[in-house]
Structure 1
Amino acid sequence: MTISAQYGLIDQKEYFNKIVASKSLANYYLLKKGDFAYNKSYSTGYPYGTIKRLNKYDKGAVSTLYICFKPRNIDSNFLEQYFETDKWYKKIYKIAVEGARNHGLLNIAISDFFNTKHYIPKSKDEQIKISKFLEIVDEKIDLLEKKKEIKLKIKEYYIQQIFLEDWDNKIKFYDYKPLNEITFYQEGPGVRNYQYTNKGVKLLNVGNFVKNKLILENTDRYISKEEAYGKYKHFLVDEGDLLIACSGIKAEYFNEKIAFAEKKDLPLCMNTSTMRFKSLDDNYLNLNYLKWYFQTPLFKKEIFRILTGSAQFNFGPTHLKYLKILIPPLDYQIKIGNFMDLIKENIDYIDIKIKLMKQFKKGLLQKMFV
């Protein structure tokens, strides 16, 4: 088993899609359901590692690099919630050997770990009340996350049905056109680091694409107005352009790296690893339909066929000239785009509720634990 900060103690096969432990378990600790394990490996957002309880399985084997323990004289559910806070970090900070970090692991002696002191309510009844209240919040978060998973499956189902089902008939009755005959597309220039400035015109980069929106408020990449409106003026983004990240991303994240340019985003200059699309005839091709077409398995399959062997999406105009897309009548394109947008908006709304609930719980944890 391994410890994930997000998923807790989880089977390696489920988490890594393979077993990374040795075949012999002679030198592993055996955990039983309800036992805790401390992973001393630090990562972004978890500077002192993570402590998780075994909940999902009746038992499991973990590396001896973990510190394992069974709760005594304390409500186990309360303890699990306590380790979701950062209140125990300062205890670890005091015992971690300064400057000694071996292969991503904090250097913490087992005896020092168990000698740390923590502030907890003396009354077990109070511990239980706190944990039960927080469990109700967790249940609400879990329900929202399950609801989101269902909506995502519904979205994938409709993408499959709308774009791929009954393909042979769709080919007969719909147009099937090369992308370069129905769109203008353009990749951004290779702006060099020495050209970056602290102000001027924002430069678009892959990191600005977040869940189908452009997030530019905190960008630190600019190009001077002289260059933007000079030699790069034909790379300036227009309102309504369909923008994508086309390089250095895994296929499973590509769907989130597609967004329309809005008026608030301008002025904006394209940069390397990004592309934009314009319809050559708005009465023939609806760009919102194209946005959803890009998210189909069919599009990804065609891209990988052209790329031949690449594990990442790294494509540009030279690759897209070989690509054809299915073009139904315009009114049907618009209906498809609007329908898929409604599903996406519903998922985004659930996402917001999950985020707010997690913030609410974080606030509770800060107040309930010393």
Structure 2
Amino acid sequence: MKSKQNPEVRFPGFAGDWVQRKLRDVVERVTRKNKNTESSLPLTISAQHGLIDQITFFNKQVASRDLSNYFLLENGEFAYNKSYSNDYPWGAVKRLDKYEQGVLSTLYIVFKPTKVNSNFLVSYYDTNRWHKEVSDRAAEGARNHGLLNISASDFFDTELKVPVEKNEQEQIGEFFKQLDKKVALHQRELTTLKQTKQGFLQKMFPKEGESVPEVRFSGFTGDWEQRKLNTVFKDFIVPMRDKPKEFSGTIPWTRIEDIEGRYINGTTSGQYVSKETIKSMNLKIIPKGSLIVSASATFGVVAIVNNDLITNQTFIGLVPNNNFNVDYLFAFFKSTNIQKKMKRESAGSTIFYISRKQFEEMTGEFPILEEQEKIGNFFKELDVIIALHEHELDALKEMKKAFLQKMFV
């Protein structure tokens, strides 16, 4: 079958066929060593950050102390890491953008573009178009110590299709460069929002041993009241260990994967339990308006229950008394102080586990209902903004993925 000559989507004004080139014809291999220790910055490849220094990424240097025999990489040069993973089944190729220089293990293959637009090449290696070229040349079944068995000569023998016109290469490269900037901006904004939320979760709830928080809405001055959770919740529902034997009904059977942001609405597995099964197995329904909090396994997971449901023993269901706001209680369990307290309660277990009795006896500080409502609504609105940013970021990533598929051959 004849391979495609041109991409599915092109910028207007370009009509000429793309041409096939060997990589060695459009780039030049770089083998310079760091002999005089021009750089003391060892690099690694990250999915999100590209070529990044090891200390930033790993919190430590994994390279040897003597870096003189490492490759010296200059800004704008590329590196192919033959290490493979789930994210990178055929390794990864990234350009050095963050630093003027850096050093890499000689296991990497380093090169610089000579007859192809650099930004075009960055985007090309964000696609999967080059994977088959590498897989055809890597020795079958010869993955050794996490590395693909492909020589530098074979890597430079791989072929790629490029536009004949330099202007088309430049436009494609610039398009994805601007798209990457937009993705990075949204990622930074999302990170800042999440950090801001964590700051408020620390400052808008009293620290241990104190009766008022550091940050408070105006108009509220009284001390918060310390309470045991058995005075805050009227029921503590511990799910049965047994999984329903039959799924045919209307009550959702839910798992941790069914949590969407701050809520658990139903089941994505399509599994529902009948009232007859619930009765015969003595299963526990967690009612709408409750909270579920992880009592074992994954630590610190909390969700508001939007519909009556059945869940597994990962969670305990907490049914609030009428004079407690569920949005406040959600934030309460997310607060820094309570997360630490829950961790302490589970100490001594080989895995995270808190019993019903420990939940009932746990203490926390609670303001009057009006202040609870203010705090609960504040965090609810903040979560809406965060979810919106996450949605926008996901949409941008999907858009980039679609364009990468359609704008390269």
Q: Is the 8 A contact 2:78 2:111 kept in 1?
A: yes
Which consecutive aligned stretches of 4+ in structure 1 deviate over 4 angstroms post-superposition? Answer: 195-202, 220-227, 309-313
- 1:278 Cα shift? 0.7
Letter in structure 2 aligned against 1:185: F
Larger Rg over CA atoms: 2
- Aligned match of 1:53: 95
Contact 2:290 2:318 in 1 (8 A): yes
Candidates 205, 208, 217, aligned match of 2:255: 205
Aligned residue number for residue 26 of structure 2: none
Pair 321,216 (structure 1): closer, same or farther in 2 beyond 3 Å: closer
Structure 2 Cα separation of the partners of residues 210 and 293 of structure 1:
18
Aligned to 2:175: 133
| 1:67 CA drift (Å) | 2.4
Per the alignment, residue 64 of structure 1 pairs with 106
The structural deviation recorded for 1:330 is 0.6
Q: Do the aligned partners of residues 191 and 40 (structure 1) sit closer, same or farther apart at CA in structure 2, a change above 3 Å counting?
A: farther
Higher helix share: 1
Aligned-pair distance for 1:105?
Answer: 2.9
Note if contact 1:185-1:276 (Cα within 8 Å) is conserved in structure 2: yes
Number of residue equivalences: 357
Q: Distance in 2 between matches of 1:199 and 1:86?
A: 42
The correspondence for 1:245, drawn from 285, 290, 294, is 294
Per the TM alignment, residue 275 of structure 1 is displaced from its structure 2 partner at its CA by 1.8
Structure 2 unmatched ranges of 5 or more: 1-42, 214-221
Asked if the contact 1:91–1:116 (Cα under 8 Å) also holds between the matched residues in 2, the reply is yes
SS in structure 2 of the partner of residue 348 of structure 1 = helix
1:276 Cα deviation (Å)?
A: 1.4
Q: TM-score, normalised on structure 1?
A: 0.86
Among candidates 343, 352, 358, match of residue 391 of structure 2 = 352
**2:198: which partner in 1?**
156
Letter in 1 for 2:335: T
Q: How far apart are 1:92 and its partner, in Å?
A: 1.7
Distance 1:96 1:318 in 2: 58
How far off is 1:346 after superposition?
0.9
Question: 1:96-107 alignment to 2 at 5 Å?
Answer: 96-107=138-149
Match of 2:279 in 1: 229
Contact 1:196 1:222 in 2 (8 A): no
Q: Judge conservation of contact 1:241–1:276 (CA < 8 Å) in 2.
A: yes
| Greater mean alpha carbon deviation, residues 150-159 or residues 198-207 | 198-207
Contact 1:278 1:287 in 2 (8 A): no
CA–CA distance in 2 between the matches of 1:49 and 1:213? 38
1:44 corresponds to: 86
SS at match of 1:272: coil
1:273 is matched with which residue? Answer: 314
Equivalent pair of 2:254/2:267 in contact (CA under 8 Å): no
Equivalent residue for 1:170? 212
Deviation of 1:271 (Å)? 0.7
Looking at structure 2, the residues matched to 312 and 23 of structure 1 have their Cα atoms a distance apart, in angstroms, of: 38
RMSD of aligned Cα (Å): 2.8
How many Å separate the matches in 2 of 1:210 and 1:231?
Answer: 28
1:166 to partner: Cα distance: 11
Tell me the residue number matched to 2:240: 189
C-alpha distance in structure 1 between counterparts of 2:330 and 2:237, whole Å? 16
- The residue identity in structure 2 corresponding to 1:333 is Q
CA offsets, 1:156-211, max 9 Å, x none?
3332332137973529722101112321223333236xx66676665333333343
Q: Give the % identical residues.
A: 35
Larger CA deviation: 78-87 vs 175-184: 175-184
Q: Are the counterparts in 1 of residues 202 and 337 from structure 2 also a CA contact under 8 Å? A: no
